[in-house]
Amino acid sequence: MNWVLADELIRRALIEDLGYGDVTTELTPNRHREVTARFLLKEDGVLCGSQVAARCFSLLDAAVRSSFTVEEGHEAEAGTVVGEVTGPAHAVLSGERVALNFLQRMSGIASLARRLARRAGPNESCVVETRKTTPGFRLFEKYAVRTGSGYNHRMGLDHAVMLKDNHFALAGGDPAELVRAVRDRVSHTMRVIAEAGDPGMVEPLAAAGADVIVLDNFTPEQVRAAVQQIAGRALIELSGGINEDNLDDYLIKGVEAISIGALTHSYRALDISLEF
């Protein structure tokens, strides 16, 4: 976790919620009293974002102390007290919602990633997310996928070359020629990923030297044929319409990565509460 960036994003979230100040807490008696509040897991899941939640409080008041009895990335059952926060009541109350927003969402993603990774693991396939992330929340969503045993795709557009249908349409001509041209210009440290939108593109992209070939919206039968055709010349990634319901259909030997946008755009936050 890049904590320089993380702290900046957490501060933005706190500013968004606090505005000019927590008027309710400021009008409540005993707001400076030291209190202890517990994080209670209300459903089974993977804990993720504990240190992010802790920062939500300590950035408001350095006197706040947070501790977690369930380790990051570990599974716990409903009813488990996973941690607690102790400090001035005004800081605990003012940071509560933002801390839970991070903790619930990150734990929800990690829980989903764990379920999918557990199913894909025996096939030696990696479950990865995409760039379909919540604006401003990418750092935390991708961290949560890793915590849940999934893997990261590109962090951003500067992470790898990825030629998709619109790039091929813009360039015109033979997609394989674009792959060759890009390979001649790109740094040796950067992979060239090329997306095959139909089975007819598989062989030309493999012959052109793409490091990774993405089979986009292929049927399981088309995937099996493409695996035989590529024959180890490139890493194979699947994308397009794969989710928790149909994942098993795509657990095909020879597929190294399965990208699932739902990991970061359709997850459900885990139910966690903070109780005095």
Check 115, 164, 183, 224 and give the catalytic one.
164
Provide the CB-side half-sphere exposure for 76 (13 A, CA).
24
Check 22, 96, 141, 195 and give the catalytic one.
195
Check 22, 129, 216, 237 and give the catalytic one.
216
Q: Is 164 a catalytic residue?
A: yes
pLDDT at 77: 98
Mean pLDDT, the chain, integer: 96
Give residue 109's pLDDT band: very low, low, confident or very high (50, 70, 90): very high
Q: Is 114 a catalytic residue?
A: no
Type and span of the H or E element at 66: strand 65-68
* pTM of structure: 0.94
Q: Is pLDDT above 90 for 183? A: yes
Q: Above pLDDT 70, what percent of the chain?
A: 100
User: How far is residue 95's CA from residue 10's CA, in Å, rounded to a whole number?
Assistant: 11
Q: Is 174 a catalytic residue?
A: no
Q: Identify the residue whose tokens are 């992979």.
A: 191
Give the tens place of pLDDT for each residue, 76-101.
999 999 999 999 999 999 999 999 99
Type and span of the H or E element at 244: none
Q: Is 97 a catalytic residue?
A: yes
For helices 50-58 and 89-120, give the axis angle rounded to 10 degrees: 160
Check 38, 97, 146, 233 and give the catalytic one.
97
What would the mean pLDDT of 227-245 be, rounded to a whole number?
96
Domains and CATH numbers, the chain: 3-117+269-275 (3.90.1170.20), 121-265 (3.20.20.70)
What would the mean pLDDT of 157-184 be, rounded to a whole number?
96
pLDDT at 249: 96
Q: Is pLDDT above 90 for 123? A: no
pLDDT at 168: 96
Check 65, 119, 131, 132 and give the catalytic one.
132
What would the mean pLDDT of 162-186 be, rounded to a whole number?
96
pLDDT at 75: 98
Q: Is pLDDT above 90 for 229? A: yes
Tokens for 273? 């509460």
